[in-house]
Chain A
Amino acid sequence: MQQTMVNKIMKVDPRDAKLAMANFYVAFIALLVGGLAGLLQVLVRSGQFKLPWGIGYYQVLTVHGVLLGLILTTFFILGFQVAAISRTVGPLTDGQRKIGWLGFWLMTAGTVAASVMVLLNKATVLFTFYAPLKAHWIFYLGLTFVVVGSWTLIAPQIMRFFAWRKENKGETSPLLAFMVTVNNFLWIVATLGVAIEVLFMLLPWSLGLVERVDVLLSRTFFWYFGHALTYFWLLPAYMAWYTIVPKIIGAKIFSDALARLAFLLFLIFSVPIGIHHQLTEPGIDGLWKFIQVVLTFFVTVPSLLTAFAMFATFELRGRELGSKGLLGWFKALPWKDSRFLLPFIGMVAFIPGGAGGIVNASHQMNQLVHNTIWITGHFHLTAATTVALTFFGVAFWLIPHLTGRVLTKKLNFLGVIVGILWATGMFIMSSAMHIVGLLGGAPRRSEYSEYGGATQAMEWIPYQIAQAVGGTILFIAIILITYLVIQLAFFAPKGEQDFPLAELAPSAEKTPAILENFKVWGVILLAIILFAYTVPIIDIIQNAPPGSKGFNNLW
């Protein structure tokens, strides 16, 4: 019954659509510029190309990481979520929308400020900005604006969701709105880590107000945020898989309760696991590293749930269409629909991506791959394929829906081409990265170097050339996406593009109320975070060496 309620609101309110579109413009500009930076990197690293005009490799690397890892993702996700909220629980109030716009402009101003400092080569500290490399204070302040802006843009989403709950006492909230809310809570909890790092450590230090910074503590706060960040990217993709993809293939949502449970498990397990990024670092006790390894493994469970739900949905739909045999349903899926194909390729990429993640997070196995280019290959499968392709699949219908246009046959076909190009380019690039990282130990975050002609380094070069080939194909796909987004936003024929939101299967069981009780889950989350971080952080502070002065003369 709940879904009939939801479907009364069929369209995103045009005023909310504007806010969502503003976010998408920034996101896709970031994709183009950040993608270009990625192309330059693979070309340089192939050894066949040198950057002109004194541009540094690591400067380009910083642009790529910040624009794609932080700007594209955050803007796209918040745009999608504003649209999802407006579609499922109703338009924002005028006041809420004003707060949302304020958030958007704060984020945009921060992006511009940080980008300018990177372009001036005053902040070549990469996406992870590890102290004691010290960027210009405007870079850190810019990033602070992005984070504070994101909170400001999230606030109206949360307000609207809880207003709906008040208006509809006793009813189960729409699944998509619930998922948005979980992801928003995840983001707020996670960004507290980076906010503490930047506001209380890096910013005063780069301004010269304090002389020294505790390097290990700053890294621990960074990774408290940094791993949860990857789930903030992933969950919107999961939202699309659970609530949008079934509708596109003509199916229903397999289980509402299961989907909610998966999201809540992500919420409570995504934050207290950041130390698995620090396994090879000194200063953190082996026992506590291991505890976070165990917690990291728990986060696999909701992904397993999701995999089951997805393939159950596909199979049920295929059988409904009359396909026979064990795998006959596979053929019945709408392969020529870009709105389905791209998220599907994303799901497939998450199988090796997730398995690789288990390796990375494993206590001792991590030593073989830590900071090798295997890691780069890993997150180019998870973030840059699973998440990115799902986002593009969403953009292909959401942008025309918001601008009052339609995804024509021709544009859909180009969307399919994007999916194929992306899969091909990423397969070549990411496989090369995985192989040479695991078997050869080739480092990540490094420009072209022959390392004095060492035999091992010579063996890496063919793989670097393969990365350049894959990266070039990916950039061609990005150009095509840019063309598509411009078409869908400004030139495609006017019309009604559906917001494909699936209904719950009639056979699905009623959702237990406990899954909607944020207080309970909040307490559990807090307890696990305190458990996982209290001792390590006290330890790091009590056992601290003299802090570090900054270095801004090394790049």
Chain B
Amino acid sequence: MHLHKYEKWWMVFGAGTLVAFLIILGIGAFHSGSHPNDSKKTIDYERVEDFKPFDNPGVHKVEGKDWDYEVVLIASAFNYNPGVIELPVNAKVKFIATTKDVIHGFQAAGTNINMMLEPGYISEYTTVVNKTGEYLIVCNEYCGTGHAFMYSTLKVVDPNATNDGE
């Protein structure tokens, strides 16, 4: 099939950009291990509190793992448990979350902490919280009338500066 000269240039440029972009994404994923939530752990959604770690939701400091904190969270219509998550800045944190009923979202607005919670599955995401501030955690997947009133707070605090200015 005949292609115009300029068209060939355009296709090479366009496709080349795509390939370069994919390589960057691929290195991020498979070399640096930066995947979105892809946990394949399952759970009986009707009895989540009977299983570890969901028998004890909250923020836990852990030892001997690749991360320093675990945030164990249970979502249900229309509530998050725990309601407030407080973490020291620069902590490496693993978020471990699930739902007791329908699909919910778990997103700390303005950050990359964003995953879907689906009944029967445990969602996991590990990251470093490297910026202090209060982040609004919202349910970003429709779950019923109370959907927009389902939220909580992620506080990333600097332990050395707690008393400054207060």
Contacts and interface: CB of A to CB of B under 8 A. Distances in A.
Nearest to B151: A451
B109 A456 contact: yes
Contact of B151 (A285, A452, A455, A539): A452
A443 B139 contact: yes
B34 interface: yes
A304 B38 CA distance: 32
A456 B3 CA distance: 51
B103 interface: yes
A219 to B, nearest CB: 8
A360 interface: no
A133 interface: yes
A211 interface: no
Contacts of B34: 364
B110 A440 contact: yes
Interface stretch (A142-150, A287-295, A331-339, A496-504): A287-295
Interface size class of A (residues with CB under 8 A): 35 or more
A548 B38 contact: no
B107 A371 contact: yes
Contacts of A304: 10-11, 14-15
Q: Which of B11, B43, B112, B148 has the largest number of chain A CB atoms within 10 A?
A: B148
A255 to B, nearest CB: 8
B20 to A, nearest CB: 11
Interface string A417-452: 000000000000000000000011111111111011
A431 B90 CA distance: 33
A93 interface: no
Contacts of B65: none
B103 A545 contact: no
Interface residues of B, number: 71
B102 interface: yes
Contact of B25 (A280, A293, A551): A293
B135 A551 contact: no
Contact of B109 (A305, A441, A447, A554): A441
B97 to A, nearest CB: 9
B110 A297 contact: no
Interface in A283-320: 283-286, 289-290, 293-294, 297, 300-301, 304-305, 308, 312
11 contacts: A133-B143, A133-B144, A215-B120, A282-B40, A297-B21, A363-B25, A368-B114, A371-B114, A457-B136, A545-B43, A546-B45
Given A364-B34, A371-B116, A441-B110, 18 more contacts: A58-B142, A130-B142, A132-B101, A280-B37, A280-B114, A282-B123, A283-B39, A285-B40, A286-B35, A290-B26, A304-B11, A308-B10, A363-B36, A365-B25, A368-B112, A372-B140, A444-B140, A554-B102
Return the 6 tightest CB-CB contacts between A and B, nearest first.
A545-B120, A554-B144, A441-B109, A545-B42, A449-B148, A371-B140
